[in-house]
Every structure is written in C-alpha cells, then in structure tokens.
A and B are shown apart, each in its own frame.
Chain A
C-alpha cells in the first residue's frame, strides 16, 4: 500500500537510500545534513546494514569506497566544508569506478559560512572539485518527494555507470517538511557481476559502452584497484600516454555518451514565453511561484527546472535559447551555473542572473521585479 508521510527532506533522503538498497553509511556530523546520518544510524541495523561515524569526512568517503568494493551499496552525507574534504577521494572513486552516493546538503558558504542557512555554492565544486578530467553526475531535488525519488535514482545511476553520484540538495529542502508518497514498488538497479572466468576477466576493459561488470572483494577475481592510471588489468601504468588517454576518455565518455539516459529537466510554459527562468534545487520553488503570479498577470514567462545539474542539459538549453529572447538563471550564489548557461546559449538568447546569497530563498516578488525591468 502506498504510504503517506509528512517528513523532512533529510529523512526522505535517508528513507530513499534504504529503499534503493543502501546498506552501508559512513559519515561525519555536519549541519544541515546530520539528520540523514541520524536516521540511518537507527534504520540500517534494522535492515542488516552497517552504520559508522568516522573520524572526519576524508575517512567517511574512504570507508564508503571500501564498503562498496565489499559489494554493498554505500553512501555518505555532508555539507560544503565536508564535501571539500572529500574531494581527493571523489577523484579516487571516479578513477577506480566505485559506485557510491554522496549527499551534499548545501549551506551558506564559503568556509564555515552559514551552517543553518541555505546556499548553492557547491555547484562548481561538484563539477570541478577534484583534480583532473571527470564527468560527475549530480541531481538536485526541489521538494521533499524529489529528495526521496532522486536519492533512489542516484543509487541506480551510480550502480549502472559505476560512478559516484552527488545528490546536490540544500538546507531548504533538507529541513523542509512536506507530504510524500512512498511508492509500493521501487525499481532498483542491481550491481552487475562479471560472468567470465577470473583468469580471463579484464576488470577495466576498454568496452564500447564504457562500463564493466564489478566483482566484489572476496569473489575470487583477485583484482587490483588503484587511483593510479592503470591498464585494462588494473595494473599501474603511469607513463604510457595512450593508456592514460584511453582510460580517462572511457571514464568521461561513459557518462557523456549516455547523456540521454541521465539528463533530466522539466520545461513549463516555455512555448510562448518571452522570458524563461532556469533553476535547480530549492530556488525552483521561487521560480514556480513567480511564473504562477506572472502568468496570472498576463506575463509570458516560463521555466526550466534542471533535475540533473551534471551532466549539464546543454542540448536542451541550446534548443531553448533559439526560441526565447531572455533566459534568467536563479541561483543562491553569486553566479555559478550562469557561466554554463552563457556557454550553451552561445549568443542565441540574452542570459541574465538573479543571484541571492545570505541564506534565504529568492523571493518571487523580487524575481518578478527583475523580469519587469527586462520587458
């Protein structure tokens, strides 16, 4: 039977993780994400899972990578400062193709910033925070229901493509309570086991679709997993340019070539719109209200809600830019995604930024006033 609950976003996320098959959580307390750890510390032992509070965020993500190689879907949750500490091992997880989920409940930043207030300062940290070339997957919920649904999807994408997936939430969605429906049946992606004989198995093979099956430690495959550039056997091979280029390109392409499967965004009232508002995460709620008020007052405004902040929905936006004069991104930082938008709109549309920092959601009336200035 479908179950209705009135819960916080952070609890919805934790419940989504359990439903998606998460059986290991390693974390470190940080506002405003801590409720996720607290909920899972209760829930995981009840489903024969493990919970550990580690000594810092570096070891938290380390434990999650280790647990994932033991064959268990694994997760951590944090906020900006903790996510910064995790960056080196985000790169390790990318390079070693370790599936895991990181929940980043963003707060006011930089530095310790505003622990109990909202922000979106980590958008580019998700994209470029670890050194080197990689293609992250990040999903941004803008409701409590989505925090549940997107966490499930995050686990599924992570297992399907063997990558770390970031659920890029924020304090507003993390702490807000709304009614959510827990579906009867949840589709999960089960990790793919190799079926070759261990002696013939190449764990990091340059396969067409980019993603190899993943054995667990103890399965008899005797694999070597390293963050060093490695050949198809997994052995360090660090000064052969071709090995490096083949490896990194495969890792990047396994995401880019599957954009269609990964990218998700919703268009509303864009067909006849003069101005289209663009957002992700909590500010989408401000955007929806603005459009509702605007439309009821005869303004032709629409919106684009970006669900997957990464990979960036560039084809969708490029197409939109050809049909609309003005695009305005609403974000809770001094302008991060706006740069992507400018790159993708390529002069086809004017790109504007509505930026709000300080910790509170952008107000619909302020956004509306900016639109009125435009038209």
Chain B
C-alpha cells in the first residue's frame, strides 16, 4: 500500500487523465490510491463507473458508503459525498442515509470480511428489507488491509496468515446468502469479466430495491502470494478458466461445479422497496412525503 499521508493539500496529480475516461469522477488530489499494483479494485472501480455512466443516473446525486477494508477505501477516491464508516456497518449507515433522504442514490462498497463476517447481520437484514441500496462486494477471499488473514469466503484448504495449515472453515456463498435473504437483484462476476460486470452494476443501480453485485477479485499481495498464484495475471487467468456461467451451471452436477466460480445474474425480481414504504406511511399519516433536510429548518 502506498503512502496517503503526505497529501494534505489539493495537488495536481493527473498522470492518467488522458488514458482513463473515468478520471473525471475522481478526487484527483487524492491520487495515487493506496491499492497495491495488480489489485482487482482498479477493475472494480472502472467497471462501476462504466456501469454508472450507462445507467444515466445523475452523478451529483450519488452517495457512496463503505465500511473498513481495502475495498471500503474506494469512496474516498470518488468525487461525490462519501461516508467511510466503521467495520461491517456500512449498510446500517447507508440505511439511515437512504431513509432520511430517499432521493439520494446510495451505493455501498464492501468486501468479503466487511460484508459477510462482521457485517453479516446487517447484510441479511438490508436484503430482507429490500431497501434501495446497491452493494458492490469485492470478494478477494482474504483480509488484505490487515495483512492476509482467512475470511468467511476463503476456500477450504487455502492458505492465510491465520490459516497456516490451510483453511478448515466452510466458506459462504454470498450470492446464495443474499438471494435467500430477499435481495431483488443479485449478480456475480470476476475481474476477468469487466463488461458483464459493468452491465450488472448498471442493472443493480436501476433496480428499485436491494441489489448485490459480488466481484470475485484478486489480491496478489496476500492471497496470490500465499496460494501459489504468483502474479495478478495468473489470478485473472484462474478466474477466467474456473468461472462458468449460471445458465450452463444449472445443467451441471454439484461435483462438476466444485471449485468453479458461477457467474451471471441470479436474481432480478420486483418487490416493494423499503424507503418507499416509509414514504407511503408518512404520506398516509401526515399528508406529505418524509421531510428532507429538516435539520436546517426545524
């Protein structure tokens, strides 16, 4: 990770401006990022911004929320209102943000540890409520920020600093989990599928309800180094070779699917959205929508 700490003032770091069409959305004075070279987060950010552009939502209306971990650092680099919260709790902050101002488009960036371990309870309850948040979960199967510990999605047998003999734990399938809890849009892609990913992100953003997009991503620094995947390229290659589309996966047996990454869109359905229900209740009881930005007037 690079040093973010000597960047106290707005600078003019614009090296990649011409090369990256999405650089206009960045807080340029915060670049470079802290992410390791080869980290999948770069692909995740670009795919997100591409998906966001194609959704035709208003960038000025976008609020980003995150918890703690590498992926949770993303909002700090995007030039919109951003709330970098405590570990695991991004969804609860996002819930308050969205309910108190349903006009905002709220996107939550999280990781496997943040969303599925410490924040697992908030994840299932946000999905249950079908609150209109778009969750982008960058799953690298390891704790990167703290230096390579085992996570709730680490495959059995994989090595981590806290699984020196190989993980003996059973990993979560986040797609199954969130779908079962009631999410109305669920997708999964890897960093080897940027185009499909950005399309699913667009679909998630446009879904009026709880959307969950898992990005299986590489952490070359910790996961790769510990698990004999020496380079970012070898990790992306592994994703490409091992992923299998949902439509094909539906025809295969569990045995044939073992160690495969099933990608695609898993849930896309309609169900009444939660902040709308609160609006409706307010309308019924007070004759008005819920009040916006009232702290400045009452």
Chain A–chain B contact at Cβ < 8 A: yes
Contact A71 B292 (CB under 8 A): yes
CB distance from B130 to the nearest CB of A (A): 14
Most A C-beta atoms less than 10 A away, residue of B10, B61, B63 = B63
- Residues in B neighbouring A227, C-beta threshold 8 A: 84-86
Residues in B neighbouring A195, C-beta threshold 8 A: none
Which of the four size classes fits the interface of chain B? 35 or more
Asked if A62 and B85 sit within 8 Å, CB to CB, the answer is yes
Assess the A66–B100 pair: CB atoms within 8 A.
yes
Closest to B3 in A: A239
Is B84 within 8 A of A159, CB to CB? no
Asked if B298 and A190 sit within 8 Å, CB to CB, the answer is: yes
A72 at interface, CB cutoff 8 A: yes
Contact flag A218-B63 (CB < 8 Å), given A54-B92, A240-B6: yes
B103 at the interface (CB under 8 A from A): yes
Please give me the residue from chain B that is nearest to A214 by CB atom: B295
* B89 contacts chain A at the CB level, 8 A cutoff: yes
Interface residues in A, total, Cβ within 8 A: 62
- Residues of A contacting B99 in the complex (Cβ-Cβ under 8 angstroms): 24, 50, 52, 63, 67
Please give, as numbers and ranges, the residues of chain A lying within 8 Å of B18 by CB-CB distance: none
- Residues in chain A near residue B295, CB distance under 8 A: 21, 23, 68, 71-73, 99, 159, 190-191, 216
Q: Mark B19-30, 1 if CB is under 8 A from A, else 0.
A: 000000001011
Contact status of A220 and B60, CB under 8 A, knowing A62-B96, A65-B93, A66-B96: yes
- Does B288 have its Cβ within 8 Å of any Cβ on chain A? yes
What 0/1 pattern do residues 190 to 225 of A give for CB contact below 8 A with B?
Answer: 110100000000000000000000001111111111
- Are A224's CB and B92's CB within 8 A? no
Chain A residue with Cβ nearest B293: A71
- CA–CA, A87 to B182, complex, Å? 30
In the complex, whether B36 has a CB less than 8 A from a CB of chain A is no
A65 x B96 contact (CB < 8 A):
yes
Q: Does B5 belong to the interface (CB within 8 Å)?
A: yes
Please report the C-alpha to C-alpha distance between residue A239 and residue B3 in the assembled complex, in whole angstroms. 9
Complex Cα–Cα for A221 and B96 (A): 19
CB of B285 closer than 8 Å to a CB of A: yes
- B286–A48 contact, CB under 8 A? yes
Contacting B at CB under 8 A, from A204-255, are 216-228, 231, 233, 235-240, 243
B contact residues around A73 at 8 Å (CB): 294-295, 298
B122: Cβ under 8 A from any A Cβ: yes
Interface presence of A79 (CB below 8 A): no
Which 6 A-B residue pairings sit nearest by Cβ, starting from the closest? A66-B96, A62-B92, A63-B96, A59-B92, A71-B293, A70-B100
**B interface vs A, CB < 8 Å?**
3-8, 10, 27, 29-30, 60-61, 63, 65, 73, 75-76, 79-86, 89, 91-101, 103-104, 121-122, 125, 278, 281-282, 284-286, 288-298
